[in-house]
Structure 1
């Protein structure tokens, strides 16, 4: 059964033949009553579909709870050098952050270039390793970096 027939209880016909011979005498209150009944049926089916959709969406939804002092962000105040970066995050993308205040780097402390990079200088190479993948070997170097106000170790 096609959706039109399911909704209206009859086959879809062209406007020229909307009413058959038996239906030609349906006028006035009967026509209004039928339209009201069909509207109620449509609203009921819409509510059912919305409820089903909501139950599917609720399975994936998780409650976000933040306390005063939690580190979250929904819009960033970026300097003019970073105008090409979109400053808005979706709330669903937020995660609770257990931050380390000593690692906060102020934007004024970093000189960002036009291609959104900044300079750090290596101090010393701490370790080397070679990982073997299926077809190749990948060399990694552990480096102690120094930027203007902090030191960091990365592979």
Structure 2
């Protein structure tokens, strides 16, 4: 048993990447998008984005850092684990401008729909489902998903108004 544990630890140590920052470094903060709707009956899980850059004010132990946050994020605690931080080198491809998002206390922002792109009807065995193709704001990568039309119409009626 000990030999297996040692072998597993050596594999893990080879792949582990120690991340350390210094006081004064600029880092990006990882935030998780949270869709306010249900996607096919389950919560939608989208890829995280990064906001920032923010300056490191203090190292707290080996794993936590205190950041200098702007006034818009005054409701959020300013100490973060190293897993929420990335080195702030230039423009990151998944960076979301802080002025465009509103974060809650647990670093989530709500994905909001931007437009309805398409509609279709899907025939299942026992029922017919109306779907709409929704384009999402601030989402990096493929920023559209097929959603239930009735749920979208109930939550976002302004998207279905025809000019």
* TM-score grouping bracket, smaller chain normalisation: 0.3 to 0.5
Give the helix-richer structure, 1 or 2. Answer: 1
Give the strand-richer structure, 1 or 2. Answer: 2
TM-score (norm 2): 0.32
Which is bigger in relative contact order (C-alpha 8 A, separation at least 6)?
2
TM-score (norm 1): 0.33
